[in-house]
Amino acid sequence: MTRSRIPFPRRSRLLGAVVGATLLGITATALVSPRAPSVPTPAPAAARPDLAVVTVGFTVSDMDRSVAFLTDVLDFVKTSDVEVDGAAYEHLQGVFGLRLRVCTMRLGDEQIELTQYLAPEGRPIPIDSRSQDRWFQHVAIITSDLDAAYARLRRHHVRHASSGPQRLPDWNAAAGGIKAFYFKDPDGHVLELLEFPPGKGRAKWHESRPSALFLGIDHTAIVVRDTDASRRWYHDVLGLDVVGESENHGTEQEHLNNVFGARLRITTMRSPAPDSTGPAIELLEYLAPSDGRPYPADSRANDLWHWQTTLRARASDALPDPTAAGAEWVSTGIVDLPDATLGFRSGLLVRDPDGHAIRIVTGGPD
């Protein structure tokens, strides 16, 4: 049994409430949802999904403050600023009575999507959050000069997550020579600065951009419990391939993550399509320490620890069923929006086996 497609005309009204439903053996996560007409979900157009990451986003408490931070500190440019509300968006995000302000911030070829819940407001990021907790997620911002970038962050009194910039050791063939630093935005979301040495990273990060200190977004990283299980889900359900692997440990990695004894298995996955230019998804499994806490079961999209990675289906009618292998619905099904204000016309939101939110969309502005 599959989730229904939920069409919404403009200004559709809430007709009822559903506390929970079990479909495909998966229980819908904490949402109050209206009843709506349903039609069968289309079968996948191909055995393997054809999806590509287009943006990464997170929930913020003060949009103007977050926009100013990304603009003034990291040279992002705001490209859109919209507000939406109504039943369709409630169905999509799994939050009743919402009103959203959504801003798109671009850096180079990539973008971040910021979402403020004007109503209802969610909870702050737990003050005791650690890099090994499974709600951890970050985006890696590429810099042409990490030392200069770090100096700029210090001038803006940006909060540290790492103890300081780290250069990963040369004995690590996959990561040796990479410079990295974790820091926090005003809400406590962790961001990473990354500088690749010659011969590492995508070719685009080594193109000459003499005036640019910040170049774009290389990947988003998520903490997972079991790399092999997550690899299967991201490959079989989302169609991503492994493009890089390493095992990192030592004092540099410990001080980067700010976790004593950190030993990580790192797996990078990306769409196999030759024209895929969006960020990769990086799986972080803490082989040690093993005390990372699970994603909070009562999480909602208006909580500030909520991140969502958006993938676009290349075929307009080919939204796959992502709930195989232990994922949970956040949306009430595939939701048809009244317009393309958010840059897409249909979408769904689910959680991967570790709780990280994945949004799959199709369609766009006419």
Q: For the chain, what is the mean pLDDT? A: 87
pLDDT at residue 327 in the model: 80
Considering the domain boundaries, does residue 128 fall inside one?
A: yes
pLDDT at residue 320 in the model: 66
Considering the domain boundaries, does residue 93 fall inside one?
A: yes
Q: Band of the pLDDT at 364, cuts 50, 70, 90? A: confident
Q: How many independent structural domains does the chain possess?
A: 1
Residue closest to 162 by CA, chosen among 93, 232, 70, 262: 262
Considering the domain boundaries, does residue 19 fall inside one?
A: no
Considering the domain boundaries, does residue 1 fall inside one?
A: no
Q: What is the pLDDT of residues 24-68, one digit of tens each?
A: 233 333 333 333 333 334 444 445 778 999 999 999 999 999 999
pTM of the model: 0.88
Q: Which residue range forms the structural domain that includes residue 215?
A: 52-313
Considering the domain boundaries, does residue 344 fall inside one?
A: no
Considering the domain boundaries, does residue 7 fall inside one?
A: no
Question: CATH number of the domain that 230 lies in?
Answer: 3.10.180.10
Considering the domain boundaries, does residue 41 fall inside one?
A: no
> Which segment of 18-27, 206-215, 352-361 scores lowest on mean pLDDT?
18-27
The share of the chain scoring above pLDDT 90, in percent, equals: 77
Considering the domain boundaries, does residue 115 fall inside one?
A: yes
Q: Band of the pLDDT at 3, cuts 50, 70, 90? A: low
